[in-house]
Amino acid sequence: MHQLTIAEIIRGLRDKQFSSAEITRHLLDRIQQLDGHYNSFITVTEEQALEQAAAADRRLAAGEAPALCGVPIAHKDLFCTRGVRTSCGSKMLDNFAPPYDATVVEKLNAAGSVTLGKTNMDEFAMGSSNETSYYGPVKNPWNVDCVPGGSSGGSAAAVAAQLVPGATATDTGGSIRQPAALTNTTGLKPTYGRVSRWGMIAFASSLDQGGPIARNAEDCAYLLSAMAGHDGKDSTSLNRPAEDYTRSLNDSIADLKIGVPKEYFGEGLNADVAARVETALKAFEALGAKLVEISLPHTDLAVPAYYVIAPAEASANLSRFDGVRYGYRCADPKDLRDLYMRSRGEGFGEEVQRRILVGTYALSAGYYDAYYNKAQQVRRLIKQDFVQAFEKVDVIMGPTSPNPAFAIGAKKADPVAMYLEDIYTIAANLAGLPAMSLPCGLVNNLPVGLQIIGNYLCEARMLNIAHQYQQVTDWHTASAFSIETAGGAGE
């Protein structure tokens, strides 16, 4: 039952092959038995899940089931859930149970989904390996000595380990796509503003975007249809009509023009990863698509621009954690300054502190123009590269990540080496473009992701393209357990 996709679960529930209570119970048991190996959940909401499942079964029986009625999912632990701890992977919020639901959570609840729990993540979504979590690293189900990627590593690992068929995630510089690539799952970062950021704990507000991670493109389309839409509570939310992202999954892609940026296949790309991506591009050619070499000349500037903009915005966003209104407070503060200094010094981990300090530097008197303003100008140059490319092609494809999953601990001491793992994903965040990752092969039994970057608001087309690829290939159905059964995790 844990191998079912969301589309299969929807059908199975409606055809009364099983109940929501049954599949929910099955997955909760599986989490309990297996998640000790992966550490993909921070909180499991068993009681609430069983209540939601029972309510879903009643609605199914009454024939009034909304789109995702009875489908078990999980939320990345930075989406606020009313009355349920929302830690953001941090000691700072270890005791924080929000008084409200994030818009994404509200929408998925309204669609009838069942929440199994909250997934592990890099602290405040800052990381590409899930090693910065206060709750310990997440292990990659494909090889438990390797990272699952980050920052949505818990959501990706939980889907890969078949603990849940789909989960919410967020992507500020690659945090949906890179873990999806490293765990053989499919993940989509929508156009900036498609999915409400209200109740999603902010990291870098001009880059953060929520989206789904699931087993395939069709399931991502189901989840995104429920998650996306205009929200008056988020001032950057796009005011565009709601869409059914499943509507065009079966369209032909015979006339598709795929841009292949030469900068994404240069130095730094693992040769085996390059080979898997090139094989995937050939599969698209076989489906009738045409490959067009393009250039995105400012590609090398994406990582440096990001590491000004994201820390600058983070330093402003994280100033709210003051030890006064909620979250961690140090013991016996001697005065207000001491309360702030030690609450933040003790409550935030090393990487979060580093980024706050970098951001403080970039925004401090005398440096603003040289850093933040400069980075925002470079950001426009990066966007213009894409605008020009999309005059010639429909979508852009390349690798999601330069390497397959690396060993836990391998890059922890060298932040810059870690940052460069996001070299192909960051530009889409800076430009605000939708981008996704889908499985396209294995290297030494570790998954490789193909990245698709689309034009603004083209999520339905991208999901169609990914779905058509998944109709003629079966990489997305490869399971971590068919190769290696960590701790007998197969069944």
Residue 411 binds to other proteins (criterion: CB under 8 A) = no
Residue closer to other proteins by CB (options 98, 441) is 98
Closest distance to other proteins from the beta carbon of 300 (Å): 8
Which residues on neighbouring strands pair with residue 294, listed in sequence order?
261
Residue closer to other proteins by CB (options 32, 377) is 377
CA separation for the pair 355, 361 (Å, rounded): 10
Q: Considering only 52-60, 371-379, 394-402, 461-469, which stretch makes contact with other proteins by CB under 8 A? A: 371-379
Please identify which of the residues 175, 196, 401, 437 carries the catalytic annotation: 175
Residue closer to other proteins by CB (options 289, 375) is 375
Which residues on neighbouring strands pair with residue 143, listed in sequence order?
140
Our answer to whether residue 152 is catalytic in this structure is no
Our answer to whether residue 151 is catalytic in this structure is yes
Residue 362 binds to other proteins (criterion: CB under 8 A) = yes
Residues 200-239 that bind other proteins (CB under 8 A): 206, 232, 235-236, 238-239
Selection from 289, 190, 184, 273 nearest residue 238 by Cα = 190
Closest distance to other proteins from the beta carbon of 189 (Å): 12
The one among 78, 104, 188, 303 contacting other proteins by CB under 8 A: 303
17 CB-near residues (< 8 Å, 6+ apart): none
DSSP 8-class letter at 139: P
Residue 334 binds to other proteins (criterion: CB under 8 A) = yes
Q: What is the dihedral of CA 370, 371, 372, 375, to 10 degrees?
A: 100
Residue 42 binds to other proteins (criterion: CB under 8 A) = no
The one among 1, 67, 346, 479 contacting other proteins by CB under 8 A: 346
Residue 368 tokens read as: 């603003």
Q: Considering only 103-111, 131-139, 253-261, 323-331, which stretch makes contact with other proteins by CB under 8 A? A: 323-331
Pattern 167-186, binding to other proteins, x per CB under 8 A?
--------------------
462 close to 221: Cβ distance less than 8 angstroms: no
Burial zone of 377 (CB within 10 Å; 0-12 exposed, 13-18 middle, 19+ buried): exposed
Selection from 143, 73, 131 nearest residue 105 by Cα = 73
Residue 486 tokens read as: 């960590």
The one among 432, 439, 441, 454 contacting other proteins by CB under 8 A: 432
The one among 300, 407, 445, 472 contacting other proteins by CB under 8 A: 300
Residue 376 binds to other proteins (criterion: CB under 8 A) = yes
Residue closer to other proteins by CB (options 43, 468) is 43
Closest distance to other proteins from the beta carbon of 158 (Å): 28
CA separation for the pair 491, 478 (Å, rounded): 15
Residues 63-122 that bind other proteins (CB under 8 A): 96-97, 99
Residue 410 binds to other proteins (criterion: CB under 8 A) = no
Residue 354 binds to other proteins (criterion: CB under 8 A) = yes
> Amino acid identity, residue 367?
Y
Please identify which of the residues 113, 128, 151, 196 carries the catalytic annotation: 151
Pairing between β-strand 72-76 and β-strand 186-189 as defined by DSSP bridges: unpaired
Residue closer to other proteins by CB (options 239, 444) is 239
The one among 15, 47, 267, 325 contacting other proteins by CB under 8 A: 325
Give the CA angle between residues 185, 470, 265 to the nearest 5°.
Answer: 70
CA separation for the pair 395, 180 (Å, rounded): 19
Closest distance to other proteins from the beta carbon of 340 (Å): 4
3-state secondary structure of 143: strand
Q: Is 124 left (phi over 0), alpha (psi -120 to 50) or beta?
A: left
Give the CA angle between residues 271, 281, 290 to the nearest 5°.
Answer: 140
Residue 454 binds to other proteins (criterion: CB under 8 A) = no
Residues binding other proteins: number (CB under 8 A) = 72
Q: Considering only 124-132, 165-173, 427-435, 470-478, which stretch makes contact with other proteins by CB under 8 A? A: 427-435
Residue 326 binds to other proteins (criterion: CB under 8 A) = yes
Residue 192 binds to other proteins (criterion: CB under 8 A) = yes
Residue closer to other proteins by CB (options 55, 363) is 363
211 CB-near residues (< 8 Å, 6+ apart): 168, 169, 170, 171, 176, 187, 188, 189, 190, 195, 220, 224, 227
Q: Considering only 51-59, 138-146, 275-283, 336-344, which stretch makes contact with other proteins by CB under 8 A? A: 336-344
443 close to 181: Cβ distance less than 8 angstroms: no
Our answer to whether residue 129 is catalytic in this structure is no
Please identify which of the residues 76, 91, 118, 411 carries the catalytic annotation: 76
Closest distance to other proteins from the beta carbon of 378 (Å): 6
426 close to 173: Cβ distance less than 8 angstroms: yes
Residue closer to other proteins by CB (options 36, 345) is 345
Residue 456 binds to other proteins (criterion: CB under 8 A) = yes
CB atoms within 10 A of CB 100: 13
Q: Which residues are catalytic?
A: 76, 151, 175
